[in-house]
Amino acid sequence: MSSLTGKKAHFNVFLRGSGHHSAAWKHPDSAPQEDLSLEYYVEIARIAERGLFDSLFTADNYSGLGRRLEPFTLLSALAALTERVGLIATVSTTYNDPYHVARKFASLDHISKGRAAWNIVTGHSQADAENFGRDEHPDVEKRYEIGNEFVEITKQLWDSWEEDALIYDKVKGVSIDTNKVHEIKFRGQYHAVKGPLNIPRPPQGYPVLVQAGSSEGGRELAAKTAEVIFTAQQTLGAAQEFYTDVKSRLSKYGRSPHELLIMPGLSPIVADTEAEAREIEEEFNGLLNTKAALKRLSSYFEVDLSEYSLDAPVPVDKAKPFGSIKSGITSRQEVVVDAARRDQMTIRQFIARSAAGHGHVSFTGSVLQTADFIETWIKENGADGFNILPHIYFGGLETFVNKVIPELQNRGLFRTEYEGKTLRENLGLSRPENKNRAIWAKTQQKEKLETYAD
């Protein structure tokens, strides 16, 4: 394909156990016993940084039997062992408090010298609620109301310190000019926070704000707040519709299209030739637990898929009404069922497709074919980049870094060095101004805190 000038792709790598293929942990090359090992994630981070990836992305939820390290603990450790790659932590607005989250992200941004990002989610399931002593998991609409208020509070807390509040005047014995540290006195429908935050404003102003999801509420929250959005789209047409829709919503919030990067998930299986890549795909699919896959996918339908022949068409007419599933990623059902309908999949094909990318687009092919796929989506406004889901660690990521990245660089589609030291600089995002500075400049003479002296 022809080279592309100007627009360049961005890449995150999605951390997930042995890899993103459902059978990755069973493959001879995987080491599932290392899922809780720091050294394991350090190696992934170093491969990604060598490939000039923008960031590492960690998902999270508060229930279930996964083997998943807590994001802040893991990313703080990785911050000390990497230099440029960004660090994205998933944190729910339903099962946390704004002050605590604002403080932790400010800390991570300081520790990493400006590489932190927050993937904003609204909560996962009823099981999450029960683990926090809640009677019920709020409905989608209420979760987004809470989320909007939560994000606004964290921004105000990050802005509660002016940039030059730290003075370290040894002669006067004053380290902080508390006239430049402000109470926010926020009182909303769900939270009340006095402030100020007890840590200075993050190096990036705000950690980069990320939002994951494709529902109506998710699209609106992204348009209002997010600077990066992760989404699951399985065709270029669907990706273009999503891209156009979300970017068209930005103007109502006084934002421009370049202020939000859209990055669908992509699960690539890559080899030197397509035939070799297909062999790898078949090998992994041969390790699948078909019974477990059918049970999981049946949750999207009003029938049990195990009662059908594997070579029968997916009974898309028996799908549960879109929007009726209240737990998990509520928009994912529509994505996977629409893909089955569009491609007229058999149940066997449906299992294989879902195993490869768990709802995200998967692609199997040669290095050149993979680069073509990425170039098409970038060039034709289906994406600004991709959240890469390697089928197995470390091999899937190493192949992408060693072979696909150089091909994209040759086409002018990807950086040859990091643009800056912070995640914002590498993503091409501006540093947010302190929104409350002008207000405080007028009121600080009326409401002064005592000067803090060591």
E strand or H helix that includes residue 388 = strand 385-388
Cβ-based neighbours of 156, under 8 Å, separated by 6 or more = 184, 186, 193, 195, 435, 436
The partner residues of 268 in beta bridges, in order of sequence, read: 363
The partner residues of 86 in beta bridges, in order of sequence, read: 55
The one-letter amino acid at 29 = D
- pLDDT confidence of 215, banded at 50, 70, 90? confident
3-class DSSP state of 331 = coil
CA distance 123 to 233: 21
330, pLDDT greater than 80: no
Summarised one tens digit per residue, pLDDT across range 150-190 is: 999 999 999 999 999 999 999 999 999 999 999 999 999 99
**Lookup: tokens for 34:** 């290392």
**Lookup: tokens for 204:** 């990036």
5, pLDDT greater than 70: no
Residue 252 lies in a domain: yes
Domain with 237 in it: what CATH number? 3.20.20.30
Q: What pLDDT is stored for residue 435 in this prediction?
A: 81
Are the C-beta atoms of 265 and 360 separated by less than 8 Å? yes
- pLDDT confidence of 439, banded at 50, 70, 90? low
Q: What pLDDT is stored for residue 56 in this prediction?
A: 98
Residue 412 lies in a domain: yes
Strand 452-453 and strand 10-15: pairing? unpaired
More confident site: 345 or 452: 345
Q: Which of 177, 218, 453 lies closest to 330 in space, CA to CA?
A: 218
- What number of CA atoms fall less than 13 Å from residue 395's CA on the CB side? 16
Summarised one tens digit per residue, pLDDT across range 47-94 is: 999 999 999 999 998 998 878 899 999 999 999 999 999 999 999 999
Residue 388 lies in a domain: yes
Q: What pLDDT is stored for residue 338 in this prediction?
A: 84
**Lookup: tokens for 424:** 């914002």
User: Which residues span the domain enclosing 413?
Assistant: 10-272+359-434
Q: What pLDDT is stored for residue 441 in this prediction?
A: 60
Q: Which of 297, 270, 295 lies closest to 395 in space, CA to CA?
A: 270
CA distance 153 to 308: 50
Count up the domains in the chain and report the number: 1
142, pLDDT greater than 70: yes
348, pLDDT greater than 70: yes
Residue 193 lies in a domain: yes
3-class DSSP state of 14 = strand
- pLDDT confidence of 400, banded at 50, 70, 90? very high
Are the C-beta atoms of 30 and 40 separated by less than 8 Å? no
